């Protein structure tokens, strides 16, 4: 009985390690990694644009919609970055990512982490219901987005 428990525990541990190693590199090839990051960033951009339209006054302010978009933006904010780490997923004909990303990798990672932080702050402001705080948090995230795009996107 004790031997069976030890074998079972060993197998569970082995499969957990295999599963986590596989999950870290879930892309079949570089093109899939590029597609993954582009789609994730596209979803983020769609949510951010909806909030931006409200901030600019192009559409009527709706706190519930703003909060929903902020929640989706925050949920997505950690998603795209692994698509930049896959070998071969660097600039090419199918991406606007500039070589500067990989030349300045630590700066790019810091900006990604800051965006995640900005997205969480935006969500917190939205959940607080103060329109002015939402707009301030949106603008902070927008500055970070623009700075990264200016340096790292063609």
Annotated binding-site positions: 145, 148-149
Question: How far apart are alpha carbons 113 and 115 in whole angstroms?
Answer: 5
CA distances from 5 to 11, 13, 15, 18, 136 (A): 10, 12, 15, 20, 56
Sign of CA dihedral 9, 24, 146, 131: negative
Q: Which structure tokens are listed for 68? A: 């929903």
Binding residues for heme c: 145, 148-149
Task: State the virtual CA torsion across 77, 82, 88, 89 in degrees, nearest 10.
Answer: -20
């Amino acid at each position: 009985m004790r031997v069976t428990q030890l074998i079972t525990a060993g197998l569970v541990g082995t499969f957990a390690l295999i599963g986590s190693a596989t999950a870290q590199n879930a892309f079949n090839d570089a093109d899939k990694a590029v597609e993954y990051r582009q789609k994730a960033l596209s979803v983020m951009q769609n949510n951010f644009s909806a909030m931006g339209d409200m901030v600019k006054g192009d559409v009527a302010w709706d706190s519930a919609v703003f909060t929903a978009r902020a929640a989706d933006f925050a949920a997505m904010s950690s998603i795209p970055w692994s698509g930049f780490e896959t070998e071969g997923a660097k600039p090419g004909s199918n991406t606007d990512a500039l070589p500067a990303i990989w030349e300045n990798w630590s700066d790019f990672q810091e900006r990604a982490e800051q965006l995640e932080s900005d997205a969480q702050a935006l969500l917190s402001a939205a959940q607080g219901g103060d329109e002015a705080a939402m707009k301030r948090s949106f603008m902070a995230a927008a500055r970070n987005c623009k700075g990264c795009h200016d340096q790292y996107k063609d």
